[in-house]
Each structure stands twice: as C-alpha cells, then as structure tokens.
Amino acid sequence: MWLRAPTKFDAAGIHTLISECPPLDLNSLYTYLLLSEHFSATSVVAGSADKLLSFISGYRRPEAADTLFVWQVAVHEDARGRGLGQRMLRHLLDRPTLEGVRYIETTVGPENQASRGMFASLARRLNAPVHESPLFDRSLFGEHGHDDEPLLRIGPFRPAADQLKLAS
C-alpha cells in the first residue's frame, strides 16, 4: 500500500472514489483538481498497485496555524477495516510541512459511527482529548437534506517529532 501527496492527475480518480463512498458529499471535479493542486501538502492519497483506494483532504486553518482541518476522508470499501484512514492521518501529521500542528478538527455527522470511531481511536493514540461542539446545523444546508455537522476537535497533542523523541 502506497501513500503520497495527491497531484492534479489524481483528481478524476478522487472524484470517482468519493462517488463510491456514500454518504460523502460529492463535489465537482474542479474542486478535487484544486485540492490536489493547492492543498497537496495537507492531503494524502493511498492505493495498491495502480488503484486509488483512499483520499483525505485537509488544510491548515488560516487563523489557527496549529490546527489541521480534515475535510473529507474516503476509503474505498475494498480497503476498509484495515486502519488505513488512521494510518493516512498519522502520515499527514508526520510531514515536515505540518510541524507545529497540535489540533485536528473535522466535522462528522452523528450517524457516521465509522468516522467517529476512527477519530476517537486517533485521539487515543495521540493521548489527546476530543471535544465536540455545534458548528453547522442542518438548517444551514437549506433544502439539501443534510445532517448536522458538529465540530470534533482533537488536541492538544504533541507534534509528531516530539512523540518520536518520547518513544525512543
């Protein structure tokens, strides 16, 4: 299984992957082109041989440089149940470009137990608390029939380099 930063040449495959991972919101191909081009340092793709199996998009919050906001986590059903999402998140946190990140934020609907479990497990591995607070109420989505999107905030945790020092 390989992990790497996405490139614009991955965008069509990412778009297809997201379409195969309900209940994720499918965005335009242009969105995935922008994410792969402008946010590759905070995003990751994973696959086996030449098949794209997983994608995580994220960005550092402009007003909070110590916070990585994880936008979408997609793992193809063929790769689920192997801890790939968590492995990809750890891969992101190990990148030198994310040095100084001490918080992860994401929104996860109340019904999405798989994602909630993945982030709870990551928090335990990081020895960090998880705080949940309201962020986007379903009424903000208009007539699109979307669930609430509460904010999950993990942290503070030690940067990856500090964790490695403690482990040795």
∠147-151-156 over CA atoms, to 5°? Answer: 160
CATH number of the domain at 65, please: 3.40.630.30
How many structural domains comprise the chain?
1
pLDDT digits (tens, 9 = 90+) for 41-85: 999 999 999 899 999 999 999 999 999 999 999 999 999 989 999
- My answer on whether omega of the bond before 22 falls inside 30° of 0, hence cis, is no
pLDDT digits (tens, 9 = 90+) for 82-133: 999 999 999 999 999 999 999 999 998 888 888 899 999 999 999 999 999 9
Instruction: Please tell me whether the overall predicted TM-score, pTM, comes out greater than 0.95 for this model.
Output: no
Domain residue limits at 115 = 2-167
